[in-house]
């Protein structure tokens, strides 16, 4: 993997120099079943000692995925229900939008959370990851009643309950060739997030989609892990630790 990672190392050096550690977490979306791509992701995480969070689509998933994750440092979060697009024509893709009655949508989410808990036990973290990172705001205030403690979309966190634990840097160039984004752009986004939250204790969420990774995507992840895991200015953490009371406010 080519590309200049030195701005990222310099940013982490600033954290370490201040006696602080930035918290990184990885959210990988659209997991359903074991695949060669998932095996590669799991091997990469295990090889570098990076805990992973899989956003699992509950309706089509099953025991095979649970069996594959047994004994690994992997947690799962709820990725909607079936990842179906219910948005009105001409609007951006959305499963959890206002087009359907709220009780129907909430019932699917409740069923999905129960499904993940049944299959994955303690590995299932009560955090909702809306497909396409979109959700009707009217639904958010009802998530806690279903048992959700967190919500993860993309971008800066909003205030309110449940706690937001977002992703901030997207590995994939969705509007272009649908492979890895340019290394310089990815590094710049990581540095911008680190600089924005230095001193606040907030986290850096890195978002991946193992099913669409090209060689450049895998290479970037390998290089990112190799540089960050041993660095004193950061640590990779699991999703559940970001929900822990002793972590303070997530912002």
Query: What's the CATH code of the domain at 91?
Result: 3.20.20.370
Cα distance between the two ends of the chain: 32
Q: Is residue 168 part of a domain?
A: yes
- Contacts of residue 7, Cβ cutoff 8 Å, sequence gap at least 6: 187, 188, 191
Q: Is residue 248 part of a domain?
A: no
Whole-angstrom Cα distance, residue 6 to residue 187?
Answer: 9
Q: What is the mean pLDDT of the chain?
A: 94
Domain count, the chain: 1
Calculate mean pLDDT across residues 116-129.
98
Residue 251 has pLDDT above 70, yes or no: no
Sorted by sequence, the CB contacts under 8 Å of residue 104 that are 6+ apart come out as: none
Burial classification of residue 8, based on how many CB atoms lie within 10 Å of its CB (0-12 exposed, 13-18 middle, 19 or more buried): buried
Confidence of residue 168 (pLDDT cuts 50, 70, 90): very high
Q: Would you say residue 2 has pLDDT above 90?
A: no
Q: Which domain holds residue 121?
A: 6-242
Output the pLDDT for position 244. 72
Q: Is 151 within the bounds of a domain?
A: yes
With 60 as the cut, is the pLDDT of residue 169 above it? yes
pLDDT value of residue 176: 84
- Asked whether residue 175 is domain-assigned, the answer is yes
SS3 state of residue 84: coil
- Domain membership flag for residue 1: no
Residue 250 lies in a domain: no
- Name the nearest CA neighbour of 40 among 231, 174, 212: 212
Flag whether 111 is in a domain.
Answer: yes
In a domain? residue 247 = no
pLDDT of residue 247: 41
Reported as a single tens digit per residue, the pLDDT across 11-69 is: 999 999 999 999 999 999 999 999 999 999 999 999 999 999 999 999 999 999 999 99
Tell me the average pLDDT across 126-138: 97
Residue 160 — pLDDT band, cuts 50, 70, 90?
confident
> Does the pLDDT value for residue 88 go beyond 90?
no
* Cα gap 37→211, rounded to integer Å: 6
Q: What is the pLDDT of residue 178?
A: 84
pLDDT in tens, 186-244: 999 999 999 999 878 789 999 999 999 999 999 999 999 999 999 999 999 999 999 97
Q: State percent of the chain over pLDDT 90.
A: 87
* Torsion, Cα of 114, 118, 124, 126 (10° steps): 20
| Cα 202 from Cα 114, distance rounded (Å) | 30
CB 27 within 8 A of CB 53: yes
């Amino acid at each position: 993997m080519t590309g200049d990672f030195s701005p990222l190392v310099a940013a982490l050096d600033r954290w370490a120099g201040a006696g602080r550690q930035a918290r990184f977490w990885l959210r990988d979306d659209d997991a359903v079943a074991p695949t060669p791509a998932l095996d590669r992701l799991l091997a990469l995480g295990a090889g570098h000692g990076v805990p992973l969070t899989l956003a699992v689509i509950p309706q089509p998933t099953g025991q095979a995925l649970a069996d594959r994750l047994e004994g690994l440092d992997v947690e799962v979060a709820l990725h909607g229900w079936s990842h179906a697009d219910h948005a009105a024509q001409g609007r951006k893709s959305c499963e959890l939008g206002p087009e359907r009655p709220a009780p129907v949508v909430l019932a699917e989410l409740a069923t999905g959370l129960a499904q993940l808990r049944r299959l994955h036990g303690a590995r299932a973290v009560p955090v909702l990851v809306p497909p396409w990172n979109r959700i009707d705001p009217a639904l958010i205030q009802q998530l806690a009643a279903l048992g959700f403690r967190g919500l993860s979309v993309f971008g800066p966190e909003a205030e309110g309950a449940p706690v937001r634990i977002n992703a901030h840097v997207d590995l994939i160039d969705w509007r272009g060739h649908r492979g890895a984004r340019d290394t310089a752009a990815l590094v710049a986004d990581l540095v911008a997030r680190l600089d924005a939250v230095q001193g606040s204790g907030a986290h850096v969420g890195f978002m991946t989609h193992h099913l669409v990774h090209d060689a450049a995507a895998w290479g970037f992840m390998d290089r990112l892990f190799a540089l960050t895991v041993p660095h004193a200015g950061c640590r990779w953490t699991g999703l559940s630790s970001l929900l822990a009371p002793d972590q303070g406010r997530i912002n």
